Amino acid sequence: MTARLFHRLGAIIILAWLALGLAACSGFIKGGDNRHNIPMPASMVSALKAMGSSPGEGMVVRIYKKEEVLEVWKRTNSGQYKLFKTYEICSYSGDLGPKFKEGDRQSPEGFYTISPGLMNPKSAYYLAFNTGFPNKFDRAHGRTGSNLMVHGDCKSVGCYAMTDAGIAEIYALARETFKGGNPSFQLQIFPFRMTATNMAQHADSQHLEFWKNIKQGHDLFEVNKTPPAWDVCDKRYIFNAVANGPLNPLGPCPTTTPDAGLMAKQQADDATLANALAARDRQAAEEAAIKARGEAVNGFFSGIGNMFGSSDANVAPVMSGKSAPQPQSPLPRS
């Protein structure tokens, strides 16, 4: 009986160890100190009021990997959203680009919907909320992964670590948004600021088409200052589509009404992108021309050397270290 008990205990310990190793940022703590219910600081409430908002208003969270920042936007009395606060990301893992599979240590990119069920008040990383990866788009592409969080501390395995102080404020903002009657908030994750210049700098990336796709949603928010409704069809994101119910992520996309503000921004960005790419190509051509001229000059002088000194024309003289002989006086004439 005792041996059987020890075997069971050993199996439980092994399973717990495996779960800890496989989960990205999913640790839970027992009990709790009510940290998830700590009231929002009065200074934050005052700052929200000053911008025409309140703790219970809707919010949007935007993450930019390269710049290592997380932004919280809040809905104001006008119905539009304004930037409320920017937090430095203490750590994230992986490179620029989306997450593909479990264990690749890559932090996700894309559009996600955060509901109260994704909040983790008992995280081993102080507080956390799940990004919701894999979402509809990720699943359509066969991407796998679990427990990809925005959490405290400064360690990351596919997550976004915000420090305990940072996640305490972000968590409180989300909590009050839900208390205000909002069923969810939107999480937008981008590789970098989605400017035409940045897109040009990464024009050779394998992720460029994906980034162009999520840039549409990014730009809609920039233009209208309201979070665009997103869905997935034809294995790509579609924004503000008019449809009767959820779309088939593998099926055809419905027609959409062009947004005038978005079209104007895209035209300006396309022109900037074209100019940036043209400038890059000109620079590459100039560098290639300079290299070719240098090689031609070296070849010319090499040919001259071969004409007058065979293969020794390019050999540097060797210094012996000995003193040069003194010239002798001319012999007297008789």
What is the set of active-site residues? 151, 159
Cβ neighbours for 157, distance < 8 A, ≥ 6 positions apart: 24, 25, 93, 105
Query: Cα separation of 59 and 104, whole Å?
Result: 30
* Residue 138 · residue 248 · CB < 8 Å: no
CA distance 134 to 110: 10
Distances (CA, A) of 265 to 64, 186, 196, 262: 20, 22, 10, 5
Name the amino acid, one letter, at 305.
G
User: Token pair for residue 94?
Assistant: 């992986």
Q: What are phi and psi of 58, to 5 degrees?
A: -65, 160
**Rounded-to-integer distance, Cα 149 and Cα 70, Å:** 13
HEC-encoded secondary structure of 212-226 = HHHHHHHHHHHHHCC
**Sign of the torsion angle spanned by Cα atoms 248, 249, 252, 256:** positive
Chain center to CA of 85: 19
319 phi-psi bin (left φ>0, alpha ψ -120 to 50, beta other): beta
Beta bridge partners of 61: 72, 187
Q: Which helix (H) or strand (E) element contains residue 39?
A: none
For 16, what's the count of Cα atoms within 13 Å in the CB-facing half-sphere?
8
- Please, which residues have CB within 8 angstroms of residue 122's CB and are 6 or more apart in sequence? 28, 29, 30, 32, 36
Q: Cβ distance 168 to 127 under 8 Å?
A: yes
CA dist., res. 196 & res. 271, Å (int):
9
